[in-house]
Structure 1
């Protein structure tokens, strides 16, 4: 009578022995970290670099006076203006930045690399320099500003429209970077297949390219809105700081810092809270770490 083989010699026993508590071969056991522990030190330092300044504001603020310092008419006007202009500039970023990102990712012509560098220039320029550039383009003596003033009778600088233009100038590259990276990473094979099947270029863009852009568009919109909400340098240079007209919340913080530091700290905390809420609520699910 043949002897029964031990369990370790039976077919499939090696595979079963490698099964983890989750029941799936090769999966990491529950509770075991997937991240090398050595990365914890620089990660902790990076987190401290972001969190500790906010903690410093909390320590410096007078929490008992915080509601009264924030609930002033000038503060609420500045907050309302910031939210409205940031929303308008984000809409402008989508309307202008999506076509630009598609052109940069799909177009094949000489000089596209130089064009990409110029488009991303606001990412590295100091915002004050961007404000000066806008001022000498759209100001009364600017070659485009003089034409606009002659046609409309109203100058562009030091208006609410100037705030939206300044915010769009500094925020749009964040959207373009997100969308162009997504398009270049996904490739153009689906678009080529659609074109081969007879789809027109506009149909390919509407039915194929735009769906590919949706995850990156969500993150790009959030980044653009957050950048526009915190814009300061280009706004104060190009639009000034006129109450109820161009004085957004960052400019209100700067104004209060010269007369009442406690009010400036309270408004800074308000701006941080609004930014965190916007990012937390509007953050796409793709930021959560992908497939689980």
Structure 2
């Protein structure tokens, strides 16, 4: 356990905006003996909108006080303001499972950043519907499992994936070229992040870089979003674009696009792990 974070916690709050919220939260933490090290907030309107807050704080002997802290905050603050909230201790390292097919750029970016310590999580395993990336994954010391998926076995395959992934806090689709079933997605609400190889909602479907080439685009991009039952319609976490020229080939577009994809996905995963994202309907508030 990292001793520098053993007493660090993050509080995420959503509620209707009212006067006194910041004072109530900060006063509560002060009286608990906590030291606030970061506080971000956002309100959708100057008056009467939705309010979002992320607070990071230090509190001595946090692990032994967590249960009482949660109960006291709920009673004294959250109920008064009708808050939707959660408290996460940084020392409770999140577990992440990754799904991938044959393309490796997004996967390897995550594994490389994890190996360097810039993704604060435990990557438990990688599951693929193909054998191709086994050596690349196992070189990082991470278990690799192949579960073939075809039109005749999807229900059984997804049930097996769901069973193997139990215990993870997050699943990442690092260019997993299968459409997850509605039943599967509903078991992992806002716990699956996908990287989409276009700047949604443009160029959905197959071969987006060929579509972009044929349209003569001047920008290409990528979108990381939470997965919902509606294909590619989940809350967007991060997007980015790169300017391109009329003389780029399809392959040049793909190469540049994959660079955008890997970085967009890595940022989205990092923000999720650091409790920087609050989902509000089909939108996200990201305190970056």
TM over 0.5, yes or no? no
Larger radius of gyration between Structure 1 and Structure 2: 1
Greater percentage in strand: 2
Q: Give the TM-score of the pair, scaled to structure 2.
A: 0.27
Greater percentage in helix: 1
Q: Give the TM-score of the pair, scaled to structure 1.
A: 0.26
